[in-house]
């Protein structure tokens, strides 16, 4: 398959089942809602070392939030419910409770609930007050700028993590420009996040390492400086490869995001130095979700 001069490899991305939640952070204005959201989603690129994968879903107008203030929707993904709950509680306590004028609400409904303000309330040292409004419990926690309002719980849902595609280009600037265009398009797709810095990862990995202490190491087959030293997947004219990783609430959400991102790269095309689109997988043996590139772009 070739789109605008870009070859779409006959391969697939391999992804994994995860647990996810969405929360809504509001504040006095969008600036402070974003500050809290950015702090909460820091150091959350990969479960390999960060404990979770998190990112901003989208900004919300005051008409879309529970308290009528500007807000930001954040999504967090983890390999299990226990880990998800711990990451949510720690990050909310350290990054949202501490952020001026912030409030915290559930952003997704599910029969499975995990604590949001339920445990954070103890920071109030006995001065906290519970309120039930419209069948939902909220906690008012006194803080030095007034009070912190947090909904007691949010929903936990099944999700998918690790959808991906690789952009293979003639130069590093061309690869990055194509990835930036892809991220811009993918940010318009709901229910997905791209958790790496700016949505892009240059240090794609493979399973295993020559060093026993590591369970992942550099994807040498796609490293342009190793063409002569490894079983390379790169032709002589490819000098830079970058990867975009996607987490989503459903497989269909990731399908839509990958289609939007790949199309944005292909719109730049061969004239912009883009040679191929490929994907990272582990032979289909580890992840139960497979995203076949040519099927997605058919």
292, β-bridge pairs: 12
Asked whether residue 24 carries a pLDDT value surpassing 90, the answer given is: yes
The confidence score (pLDDT) of residue 244 equals 98
Using a 10 angstrom Cβ sphere, with 0-12 exposed, 13-18 middle and 19 or more buried, the burial of residue 102 is: buried
Please report which confidence band the pLDDT of residue 284 belongs to, taking 50, 70 and 90 as the band edges. Answer: confident
**Token pair belonging to 59:** 């900004």
Percent of the chain with pLDDT over 90: 96
CATH fold of 2-14+159-297, please?
A: Alpha-Beta Plaits (3.30.70)
Mean pLDDT, the chain, rounded, equals 97
- Residues 46-104 have pLDDT tens digits of 998 999 999 999 999 999 999 999 999 999 999 999 999 999 999 999 999 999 999 99
**Token pair belonging to 94:** 């350290």
Mean pLDDT confidence for 151-161: 98
Asked whether residue 241 carries a pLDDT value surpassing 90, the answer given is: yes
Q: How far is CA 192 from CA 25, 68, 92, 121, in A?
A: 17, 24, 20, 30
The confidence score (pLDDT) of residue 215 equals 87
User: According to CATH, where is 3.30.70.520 located in the chain?
Assistant: 2-14+159-297, 19-157
The residue among 88, 60, 40, 64 whose CA lies nearest residue 195 is: 40
Please report which confidence band the pLDDT of residue 286 belongs to, taking 50, 70 and 90 as the band edges. Answer: confident
The confidence score (pLDDT) of residue 101 equals 98
Which DSSP string do the residues of 97-119 spell out, in sequence order? TTSTT-EEEE-S--SSEEESSTT
Ramachandran angles phi, psi of 164, nearest 5°? -160, 165
Asked whether residue 255 carries a pLDDT value surpassing 90, the answer given is: yes
Asked whether residue 283 carries a pLDDT value surpassing 90, the answer given is: no
Please report which confidence band the pLDDT of residue 292 belongs to, taking 50, 70 and 90 as the band edges. Answer: very high
- Least confidently predicted of 17-21, 153-157, 180-184, 203-207: 203-207
Angle in degrees, CA 135, 140, 143, rounded to 5: 165
Please report which confidence band the pLDDT of residue 134 belongs to, taking 50, 70 and 90 as the band edges. Answer: very high
Q: Which CATH number fits domain 19-157: 3.40.50.720, 3.30.70.520, 3.40.50.10860, 3.40.50.150?
A: 3.30.70.520
The confidence score (pLDDT) of residue 287 equals 87
Mean pLDDT confidence for 199-204: 96
């Amino acid at each position: 398959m070739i789109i605008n001069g870009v070859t779409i490899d006959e391969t697939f991305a391999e992804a994994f089942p995860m647990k996810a939640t969405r929360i809504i952070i509001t504040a006095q204005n969008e600036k402070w809602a974003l500050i809290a959201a950015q702090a909460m989603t820091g150091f959350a690129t990969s479960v390999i070392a960060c404990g979770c994968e998190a990112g901003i879903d989208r900004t919300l107008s005051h008409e879309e939030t529970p308290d009528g203030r500007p807000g930001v929707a954040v999504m967090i993904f983890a390999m299990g419910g226990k880990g998800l709950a711990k990451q949510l509680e720690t990050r909310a306590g350290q990054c949202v409770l501490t952020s001026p004028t912030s409030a915290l609400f559930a952003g997704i409904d599910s029969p499975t609930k995990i604590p949001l303000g339920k445990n954070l309330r103890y920071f109030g040292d006995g001065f906290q007050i519970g309120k039930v409004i419209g069948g939902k419990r909220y906690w008012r926690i006194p803080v030095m700028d007034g009070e912190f309002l947090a909904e007691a719980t949010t929903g936990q849902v099944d999700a998918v993590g690790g959808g991906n595609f690789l952009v293979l280009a003639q130069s590093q600037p061309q690869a990055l420009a194509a990835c930036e265009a892809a991220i811009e398009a993918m940010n318009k797709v709901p229910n997905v996040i791209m958790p790496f810095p700016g949505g892009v990862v240059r240090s794609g990995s493979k399973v295993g390492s020559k060093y026993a202490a590591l369970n992942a190491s550099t994807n040498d087959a796609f490293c342009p400086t190793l063409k002569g030293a490894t079983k390379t997947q790169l032709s002589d004219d490819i000098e830079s490869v970058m990867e975009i990783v996607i987490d989503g609430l459903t497989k269909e959400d990731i399908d839509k995001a990958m289609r939007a991102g790949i199309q944005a790269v292909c719109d730049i095309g061969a004239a912009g130095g883009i040679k191929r689109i490929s994907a990272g997988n582990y032979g289909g043996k580890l992840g139960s979700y497979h995203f076949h590139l040519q099927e997605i772009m058919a």
